[in-house]
Amino acid sequence: FQVIEFNLKANKNGKDIKIREPEPENLILAQLNRFNPSECILQEKDYNDAELLKILKQEKKLNVYCFFEFREWSRNAYSEIKKHFRVKTLRSFGLENKRSAQKAAAALIGYFKYTQKEKLAHLRNLKVYRDFDHLILDPSTVENLELFYTLREGNREGSFFDVLDHTLTASGGRILKSWLKKPLCDKKKISKRLDAVDQGIKKFEEREKIREILKNVLDISRILGRLSLGVGRAGDLNSLKDALDKCFLIKIELADFKFEVYQEIEQAIDEKLKKVINLVDSNIVEDPPLDLKNGGLIKNGVHSKLDRLRDQVRGNKDWILSLEQEEKKKTKISSLKIKFNKIFGYYIEISRANLHLAPRNYIRKQTMVNAERFITPELKKYEERILSSEEEINKIEYDLFLELVGEILLYSRELQNLAKKVGELDCFLAFADLAEKENYSKPKINELNKIGIVEGRHPVVDKLIKEEYVANDVKLNDKDHQLLVITGPNMAGKSVLLRQAALIVLMAHLGCYVPAKKADICLVDRIFVRSGASDAISKGLSTFMVEMVETAHILRNATTKSLIIMDEIGRGTSTYDGISIAWAIAEHLVRSSKFRPKTLFATHYHELQLLEDKFLKRIKNYNLAVEEKNGEPVFLHKMIPGRAFNSYAVSVAKLAGMPDEITVRAVTILSNLEKKFRKGKEGRSDLDGDVFSTQTALFEEQFDGYSGLGDEKRKRKSLNKKGKKVLKELEKMDIYNMTPVEALNRLVELKTIVQTGGERENPH
User: Per-residue pLDDT averaged across 208-220, rounded?
Assistant: 96
What is the phi/psi pair of residue 290, to 5°?
-70, -40
- Please count the other Cβ atoms lying within 10 Å of the Cβ belonging to residue 754: 12
Cβ proximity of 412 and 178 under 8 Å: no
pLDDT digits over 113-145, tens only?
888 777 676 777 787 766 667 898 988 899 999
Model confidence over 136-185: pLDDT tens digits? 898 889 999 999 999 888 899 999 999 999 999 999 999 999 999 999 99
Residue 400 pLDDT = 96
Quote the longest CA-to-CA distance of the chain. 137
Per-residue pLDDT tens for 646-698? 777 777 777 778 888 888 888 788 777 767 666 655 544 343 344 445 455 55
> CA dihedral in degrees (682, 683, 689, 695; nearest 10)?
-60
Give the residues across from 620 on adjacent strands: 484
DSSP states of 684-748 as a string?
-TT--S-HHHHHHHHHHHHTTTGGGHHHHHHHHHTS-HHHHHHHHHHHH--GGG--HHHHHHHHH
End-to-end CA distance of the chain: 75
pLDDT for the residue numbered 539: 54
For residue 425, what are the contacts with CB-CB under 8 A and spacing of at least 6? 172, 210, 214, 250, 262, 265
More confident residue, 60 or 114: 114
In this predicted structure, the answer to whether residue 759 has a pLDDT above a threshold of 50 is no
Contact between 259 and 427 (Cβ < 8 Å): no
Closest CA to 133 of 187, 171, 169: 187
Most confident of 240-249, 309-318, 728-737: 240-249
What strands lie across the sheet with 337-341, from one edge to the other?
Answer: 337-341, 345-351, 371-375, 363-367
**Cβ atoms 102, 81 nearer than 8 A:** yes
d(Cα 116, Cα 230) in Å, to the nearest integer? 9
- Other CB atoms within 10 A of residue 497 CB: 27
pLDDT of residue 664: 80
Angle, helices 234-253/220-228, rounded to nearest 10 degrees: 150
Of 266-270, 377-381, 486-490, 732-736, give the lowest mean pLDDT range.
732-736
Span 476-501, pLDDT tens digits:
999 999 999 999 887 788 899 999 99
Alpha-carbon gap, residue 472 to 495, rounded angstroms: 13
- Residue 531, SS3 per DSSP: strand
Three-state DSSP state, 137:
strand
Please report the pLDDT score of residue 680 as a whole number: 58
Pairing of strands 619-629, 632-641: antiparallel
The pLDDT assigned to 708 comes to 42
Average pLDDT over residues 748-764: 58
> Are 460 and 516 contacting, i.e. CB atoms less than 8 angstroms apart?
no
CA gap 372, 354 in Å, rounded: 10
Taking phi over 0 as left and psi of -120 to 50 as alpha, with beta for the rest, 493 belongs to left
Instruction: Please choose, from the candidates 339, 195, 356, 164, the residue with its C-alpha nearest in 3D space to the C-alpha of residue 260.
Output: 195
Q: Which helix (H) or strand (E) holds 473?
A: strand 472-476
Q: Are 431 and 513 in contact (CB under 8 A)?
A: yes
Confidence at residue 1, expressed as pLDDT on a 0 to 100 scale: 55
